[in-house]
Copies of this chain bind each other. A is one copy, B any other.
Amino acid sequence: MVTKFISKRNLEFLLYEVFDAESLTQFKYYQEHNRKIFDMVLSAASKLAENLLYPIFEEMDRNQPELIDGQVKVHPTVKIILREFGNGGWIASRASFEKDGEQLPHLIADVCDFIFQAANYSAATYAGLTSGASHLIESFADTELNNIYVPKMRAGKWQGTMALTEPEAGSSLSDVATQAEPVDQDYYLIKGQKIFISAGDHDCAENIVHLMLAKIKGAPAGAKGISLFIIPKKRVAEDGKLVDNDVMTSGIYHKLGYRGCPIAQLSLGDNNNCRGWLVGKPHNGLKYMFQMMNEARIGVGLGATAMATAAYYTALEYTKTRCQGRKISQKDPAQPQIPIIEHADVKRMLLFQRAIAEGSLSLILQCSKYVDLVKVLPDEEKEKYHLLLELLTPIAKSYPSEMGIQAISQGLQCLGGSGYCDDYALEQYYRDCRIHPIHEGTTAIQGMDLLGRKVVMQKGRAIMLYANELGKTIKAANKFSELEKPADQLAKALADLQKVTQHLLGVAQTKGPEYFLADATLYLEFFGIIAIAWQWLVQGITAQKALNGNEKDVDRIFYQGKLFTLKYFYGYELPKIMALAKCLMENDGLTVEMTTELF
């Protein structure tokens, strides 16, 4: 029996009741779809997750990838997974019909990814990376390159990767040193080192296609000189056969978690025979890569949310069956012990996990809907959603990543000593989830992106649009007497957000960028809590509306549970912004001024 790792009811609630996925089918681009198709797709995704991914979740962790004779060996089921994902159209779920894709709304495709990631994050990564890489080729590479790579990747035969990090260029991408030398051919000769490349090599795909950042010889220094290349492990020779492309796997890392997927170290051009094909124009690589990176960032947030969700259901199941202790007011040792879920503190820990997981998912699906709207709306209308998406991407990446760790840790705590042992999955989730605040831009990088770029872009237009969205939600909530209190709290939080933002913009003016951005990570956290509070109110409106109608009992329980979790978030999580606001308002530059020698 598969342990529950997601709630189908909650997915339906978010997709159909909160974000009205069906409404997307009124647009031409999505008109071939309908609710029935969506349901079939979701059901197929669930089956795949239950039958193929979840059963090897622990096995992939216990049997880590190995590097043997220059070849990374992974769990053999990865081959089946990639093929199934290829054949089932999952790698091309968001691609257009024209490109042999499924042309699914992002809302639906993202929920499918969520299901896959909740079942087995490592296993889902192979297809996810391939999907992102193929989309990048489709978007910016010429037809010839498209024809060589995209069909093979979307069939699950060739693995895609994003190869950015180098030994001396991690967070500082502008320091990429991999070189591309023009050789009067349609390709360049590549030389360099890449590290931490997820799925960077393995034996379950016929080829590995790296979407790689490198610098063309003589390019300008820094980020402006970065170009994007396709660098396959094996290139297609004139006779159509695959031949070695001088990409060597020089190592794999032994990781805390996320062990089902190898992270490789690559050495390119050791024999001066590594060919790379330029994608798009020279020196535009970072701009192109940001498309994939933005998708990947939301993907990381989604993965973190998925793990937190799976961990929550594992913990929930345990607390319902494990008996220990008695009610505080009923200590008679002759009475039987009670399920620990009946203890208030255990309920608090469960509510915390649920509030994080379901709040994060709501925010991410809000972003998914924006992606869809950007796709289907006319130019003049789409700009708004584009800006909101830009603003919320660092939040959608970092809030689930950071808080997912806390949520999973609380899940582990629910199991006590058993949570610390590998008889239960919690310890694995605790290890797996720690990658999220690191990969695809650390939390600090997200903070800088939010405050240093997104908040200030177009004279603060994005944050103004965001305030409008929150205002609309507050207004809608105020129609329900039950929601007046949280609506009021959100209005106050929004005012705090505006005050703190204004204050920091003032700091930028008076004290310069170092001071302005010193606590960008705290600002990110502050912003994130308010964003999740917003999403809880969005969900609350739908739930309250449904409760006021005449719903079935089982649905009433679902909606009441939602409203309790909303109250939890507003009672226990939202107040954390008070401390953050104080800290951000009264920041006196401590971390700028403390010198290294004082540590």
What residues make up the interface of A, taking CB atoms closer than 8 Å to B?
Answer: 165, 168, 170-172, 174-175, 195-196, 221-223, 253-258, 263, 316, 320, 323-329, 331-334, 337, 339, 341-348, 350-351, 354, 405, 409, 412-413, 416-417, 419-423, 427, 430-431, 434-435, 437-439, 442-444, 447, 452, 512-514, 517-522, 557, 560-561, 564, 567-568, 571-572, 575-580, 582-583, 586-588, 590-592, 594, 596-599
Contact = CB atoms under 8 A, between A and B. Distances in A.
B517 A328 contact: yes
A578 B582 contact: yes
Most buried by B among A172, A439, A560, A561: A172
Contacts of A590: 351, 564, 567-568, 571
A325 B427 contact: no
A345 B412 CA distance: 29
A249 to B, nearest CB: 16
A405 B442 CA distance: 19
A133 to B, nearest CB: 20
Given A513-B329, A571-B590, A344 B172 contact: no
Contacts of A320: 596, 599
A583 B561 contact: no
A417 B438 contact: yes
Contacts of A578: 575, 578-579, 582
A168 to B, nearest CB: 7
A514 B255 contact: no
B517 A254 contact: no
Contact of A337 (B172, B196, B419, B434): B172
8 contacts: A171-B324, A171-B416, A172-B337, A195-B417, A222-B331, A316-B599, A348-B519, A571-B590
Contacts of A591: 344-345, 347-348, 351, 568
B576 A514 contact: no
A257 B422 CA distance: 10
Most buried by B among A333, A420, A519: A420
Contact of A341 (B341, B561, B582, B599): B599
A347 B587 CA distance: 14
B514 A594 contact: no
A416 B254 contact: no
B334 A221 contact: yes
A43 to B, nearest CB: 24
A539 to B, nearest CB: 15
Contacts of A438: 413, 416-417, 419-420
Q: Nearest 6 A-B pairs (CB), nearest first?
A: A222-B333, A575-B579, A344-B518, A561-B598, A172-B325, A256-B427
A266 B478 CA distance: 59
Contacts of A576: 576, 579
A422 B254 contact: yes
Nearest to A165: B417
Contacts of A334: 221-222
B172 A324 contact: yes
Contacts of A439: 417
Given A345-B521, A348-B521, A598-B560, A337 B168 contact: yes
A430 B325 contact: no
A394 to B, nearest CB: 14
B447 A434 contact: no
A599 B420 contact: no
Given A329-B512, A409-B405, A420 B434 contact: yes
Contacts of A437: 413
Contacts of A564: 590, 594, 598
B586 A571 contact: yes
A340 to B, nearest CB: 8
Most buried by B among A170, A328, A344, A557: A344
A324 B442 contact: no
Contact of A329 (B175, B442, B514): B514
A567 B196 CA distance: 37
A256 B420 contact: yes
Contact of A344 (B196, B222, B337, B514): B514
Contacts of A333: 174-175, 221-223
